[in-house]
Amino acid sequence: MPANDLVAISLFSGAGGLDLGVEAASLPDVGSRFVVRAAVERNADAAATMEKNFDLSSSVIQDDILNVPTEKILEAAGLSGGDRPDLLVGGPPCTPFSKSGYWLKWKREGLDPDASLLQEYTRVLRESKPRAFILENVYSLTYNNRASRPAFERLLREIDEAGYDCAWQVLHAADYGVPQARPRLFIIGVPKGQKMPTHPDPTHGGSWERRSTGKSERPHVTAGEALADVISEPEPGETVAGKYGHLLPGIPPGENYLHYTEERGHPDPQFKWRSKYWSFLLKLSPEKPSPTIQAQPGPYVGPFHWENRRLRIPEMKRLFTFPDEFEFGGSRGSIQAQIGNSVPPALACQVATAILKVL
């Protein structure tokens, strides 16, 4: 590895969206860059994806992090004799705190065992002593409710006890050039007493959830712009069929099942007002960023393409800012899950660049 490369370690790597952005981080006239030298990912398909796209043929630890000691991770990264990584990154699974999961009582009450994975991140932070870290998660982790608030306060306390100052901020992906409305929590930090990085400023702006966000001088990248030149072939199962599939063509781009309600003036209402989740029969608008793309959508959960079908893999890659040539391992369903769980690389790159400035 070149002497000016900075060693990064990745936890809960998934398909590597965060890692891809970390490796793309750069500064004018500065030769240093981050290189991910070890990754921990328990899902076999996601681990295969990491191996296909990163120089990690022998350094992807495919195992549950509960079973992986920090020493093994450092060894996989080629670190020994007290050497420490320059950067630790990772996004522990967000299911316990995701906004879409609050309909489950046991998650609202903080009983999901996956919540403890936040503690696995802080365990590796404490033991590996990196020069900086990035922790990404769902923005609803910051909510003041029974499930999220105690977990978030404990996380910040453990970061402090590990010897780190940190700053957290919810970043809206569309404000950073990603053609998708996707707010995410980013916690960044360095050892106490060292210069703190700051979260990157937005590069784009527009309307989101009935308010203006970002930098208004440069409009959000729209789904239409992102998909304009995508070359894709029809995929098996892309047709939306079943009980409600025939309703999709009648929904205008950018709208959802509410189109078929009495309140919207439909002559033959099919649904009660607000009787479904907002993404039910949700259709992309080519004039706006895509709504958040989910990892495991139900049969009628969008966003669907304005051509009245499911999104194809090359289209989802574009809406997440993965390179067209990026290869995924696994079945169609597995790839959707990998993409839907990813950090958009273009957003990750800007966060990692802010870290690079202080290192």
Catalytic residues: 94
pTM for the model stands at 0.92
Give yes or no for a cis peptide into 289 (omega within 30° of 0). no
Q: How many CB atoms lie within 10 A of CB 278?
A: 13
Count CA atoms closer than 13 A to 147's CA, side-chain side. 24
Q: What are 59's two structure tokens? A: 């350094």
Does the 5-219+344-358 domain belong in CATH 3.40.50.150?
yes
Rg (CA), the chain: 21
Average pLDDT, integer, range 246-262: 98
Give 65-82 pLDDT, tens digit per residue. 999 999 999 999 999 988
- Show the beta-strand stretches assigned E in the chain: 5-11, 33-40, 60-61, 87-90, 133-138, 164-172, 183-191, 205-208, 211-214
Give 13-38 pLDDT, tens digit per residue. 999 999 999 999 999 888 889 999 99
Give 162-199 pLDDT, tens digit per residue. 999 999 999 999 999 999 999 999 999 999 999 999 99
Q: How many CB atoms lie within 10 A of CB 83?
A: 12
* Residue whose pair of structure tokens reads 């039910």 in the numeric block: 280
The type of residue at 322 is: F
